[in-house]
Structure 1
Amino acid sequence: MDMQAVSAIQKYAASRPATEPDAGKPSLGTAFGGFAMDFAQTLAHSEATAKASMIGGADPHALVQALAQTELAVEAAVTVRNKVVEAYQEILRMPV
């Protein structure tokens, strides 16, 4: 067998894993699903804290912290939504 052929086979075998999908990485759909679940949990936690503070069962500091976390989550969701809408509009502007 020629040395160049052996070298080519070894290089192919070394580069092949780089082209295969990574099973350890979450897919884009899984990442968005996780983001949505975290968002919903943040909103639910904030709502529970707000209800508890209305009946006197929660610390005012905890209420302010929960509201701040909710504000950040909503701002992040709005930013993601705006980027998705912007990308969709850009796709619509593409000539066919």
Structure 2
Amino acid sequence: MDVRTSFAAQGYTQARPATQPSPNAAGSAGAAQGFAALAENFAETLRAGEETAKAAMMGGADPHALVEALAASELAVETAVTLRNKVVEAYQEILRMPV
């Protein structure tokens, strides 16, 4: 048997598990948990921004904290809108596909 053939077979057996999906990352349960965590993080960011804005109106928060909270809320909303737009675009592309 040739040495190169042995190396090729060895490389193939090492690379084969990389093509199989990981049970932890695959499946709708993993995706659902990821989206649930994302939605919870989004809601918490908005909630923290609102609380900081209320505290700033009452004189309990400094302006710097208010600006930081509003910037974080704005970034979270822009990210959610961009994600929604991508999902809508993908759905429209699916509808345009010939059957």
| The two structures share one fold, judged by TM-score above 0.5 | yes
1:7-46 → structure 2 map (5 Å cutoff)? 7=6, 10=10, 12-23=12-23, 25=25, 27-46=30-49
Match of 1:15, SS state, is helix
Post-superposition offset of 1:28: 3.9
Residue 66 of structure 2 aligns with an amino acid whose one-letter code is L
Residue 25 of structure 1: CA displacement? 4.5
- After TM superposition, give the deviation of residue 14 of structure 1 in Å: 2.0
TM-score calculated relative to the size of structure 1: 0.77
For structure 2, the 5+ residue unaligned runs are: none
Counterpart Cα distance in 2 of 1:30 and 1:9: 38
Partner of 2:61: 58
Query: In structure 2, what residue type is equivalent to 1:19?
Result: T
Could you state the TM-score of these two structures normalised by the residue count of structure 2?
Answer: 0.75
Two-structure CA RMSD over aligned residues (Å): 2.5
Look up the SS of the partner of 1:95 in the other structure. coil
1:84 — aligned with what? Answer: 87
Is the deviation greater in 17-26 or in 47-56? 17-26
> Identical aligned pairs, as a percentage?
62
Q: Comparing 25-34 with 63-72, which one deviates more in the overlay?
A: 25-34
